Chains A and B, each alone.
Chain A
Amino acid sequence: MTQDSQPMLEIRQVSKNFGGLSAVKEVNLSINKGEIFALLGGSGCGKTTLLRMLAGFEIPSAGAIFIDGEDISQIPPHKRPVNMMFQSYALFPHMSVAQNVAFGLKQEKNKLSKPEIAKKVLELLTLVRMQDFAQRKPDQLSGGQRQRVALARSLAKKPKVLLLDEPMGALDKKLRSQMQLEVVDIIESVGVTCVMVTHDQEEAMTMANRISVMHDGEIMQVGTPSEIYEFPNSRHTAEFIGSVNIFDATVTQLEADYTRLSCADLHVPIQVEAGVNAPLGSSLGIAVRPEKITMSQEKPELTDNWLTGMVEDIAYLGGHSVYYVKLASGKRVMTIGTNNDRHEQKVTWEDTVYLYWSITSAVVLYR
């Protein structure tokens, strides 16, 4: 990944309105060459509209899109150096696998000769391990095979930017995790810049180098998967990516290297590392991921960051269990325990437990 050169794809102040509704609001993004970038968000967050504007199926209401420095906002889809793998794959049902892959090559201005196209199609099909299926029709293929063909077809013209619309949306769960890695391998071997849209955070985290979390037409946060997970900048992002416990707290002591907050759910103060960027007395959200919380049946020897409650529910998931602990205040806190003993589950329903976490585990949420 090269950070120095100019971005391959730049989205500047792009908005899109449908009638009176604004689907995308003043989005700014800059995507580097060779990067796999994920637009992540729930349905109706504007991620698909943004992707369709990159492909040219929608024209931005405001703003501009640059690919390799060139403004493509007004260029029709068939003239853009961009190719898309559709969610439904959109393979042409009346053409064979080879014809599907060759379709884009046949549209080029300086068209290759027939044997050259055939050679290129074979290369592409070999890349996605579908060379033995060249003469099949799309309806004779399984879901995973169709996806490989769709990928080969969208790579055929060597696009400057490859767009993936919910790439694993049509696959079952088991195949999904296998294809995620395979698709990433292929994309990286070709070295194409890639923008994908997904609602599945696991998929985004597995496949992408960087993720942008979208909500209500706006970009909430952009970062690497671990930045997004460990340092969410808003309640929405924290809750959208993985599970999280959020405590509403008030700043009571503000120092340069730590901050203390009071929270109605805890008998003791909450302490977070570094001084927060808010005055004394302001209310903030404190987010603690379930796996960062330790559960014990003995009272911890701590002055801060612990609470007590009763185990209300246990979700046994095999490798680990999720414990829902009900506090005196009525709040439910989620924690995870690894099941490393086959015979003994130490904590059970109705048990009184103590939960605690380290000073570095909590994240301060300002909005």
Chain B
Amino acid sequence: MSWGRKSVISVPYLWLTLFFLAPFVIVFKISFSEMDYAIPPYTDLFTWADEQLTLTLNLGNYAYLFTDDLYIRAYLSSIRIAAIATIICLFVAYPIAYVIARAPSATRNALLMLVILPSWTSFLIRIYAWVGILKNNGLINNFLMWLGIIDQPIAMLNTEFAVYVGIVYAYLPFMVLPLYTNLMKLDNSLLEAASDLGAPPWKVFLTVTLPLSKAGMIAGSMLVFIPSVGEFIIPDMLGGAETLMIGKVLWQEFFNNRDWPVASAVAIVMLLLLLLPITLFHRYQARELEN
């Protein structure tokens, strides 16, 4: 390989090494150390005493994750919440993406803009806005009470429902965009052929559009599911005390307990859990590319 090509390829590699691999190695290292009242608050893996280099690998942090069922419950509930939110997201995003892809090209860009535009505001502010909408004397409850439909506010804030609202709202563009790109590529003559062969519109959708947009659905689901599992801000602000998600546990370990080693172990296990869907996704993508 020529020197020039190597140097071009090296840029992304350097980037990944610096900003992905190095932090990961540091976290990985911390997960094998012990908590200590020091700065930084953990012990070194390598110690040098009496001309002996000692490597101390503390597996206790990982073992600890399995002794206290808080962690296992948090992982399971994170995966459950992320999965349900992803499915809701898919159902909300599909019609949006479909309408945008079928819209005349002039309106199409405007509609796409509407999907992306909210992400131009701070994520934190957008989630905080939902507090104002969902709380007991918030927009929805006030409006419903003014209409006289309810006379007691419905508790929405600090429930799992609010977390779903938050995740679906925040990650919707990540589902819409891959679906849109996929549906745009859909050859219109295939839909015409199906209808020509006698399939009514709903059946054209089920037998042609839906199976051919599988790649877009999978890509979008991954883009929503993976970050949702580790989501912290949404469950923290909207979910209240009863919503258990691993992102919140992680935060508590780091900042409330200052137990960096356990927090690191929590992060590493989460990464391993996410590795499974990510590999499946990549394998699927590779297979799609071959075809």
Contact = CB atoms under 8 A, between A and B. Distances in A.
A236 interface: no
A90 interface: yes
Contacts of A88: 187, 189
Given A86-B189, A88-B189, A107-B203, A93 B196 contact: no
A107 B199 contact: yes
A222 interface: no
Contact of A92 (B194, B195, B198, B203): B194
A92 B190 CA distance: 6
A92 B189 contact: no
A50 to B, nearest CB: 16
Interface in B191-249: 192-201, 203, 207-208, 211-212
A78 B195 contact: yes
Interface in A82-98: 82-84, 86-88, 90-94
A103 interface: yes
B256 interface: no
A151 to B, nearest CB: 13
B291 interface: yes
Given A93-B212, A94-B212, A139-B291, A83 B196 contact: yes
Contacts, number: 60
B169 to A, nearest CB: 32
Contacts of A94: 211-212
Nearest to B212: A94
Interface string A85-127: 0111011111000000001100110000000000000000000
A162 to B, nearest CB: 11
Contacts of A86: 189, 192-193
Nearest to A165: B189
Interface size classification for chain A: 20 to 34
A349 interface: no
B193 A78 contact: no
B197 A103 contact: yes
20 contacts: A55-B196, A56-B196, A76-B195, A77-B196, A78-B197, A78-B200, A79-B198, A84-B193, A84-B196, A86-B192, A90-B187, A90-B190, A91-B193, A92-B193, A93-B190, A94-B212, A103-B194, A107-B197, A107-B198, A157-B198
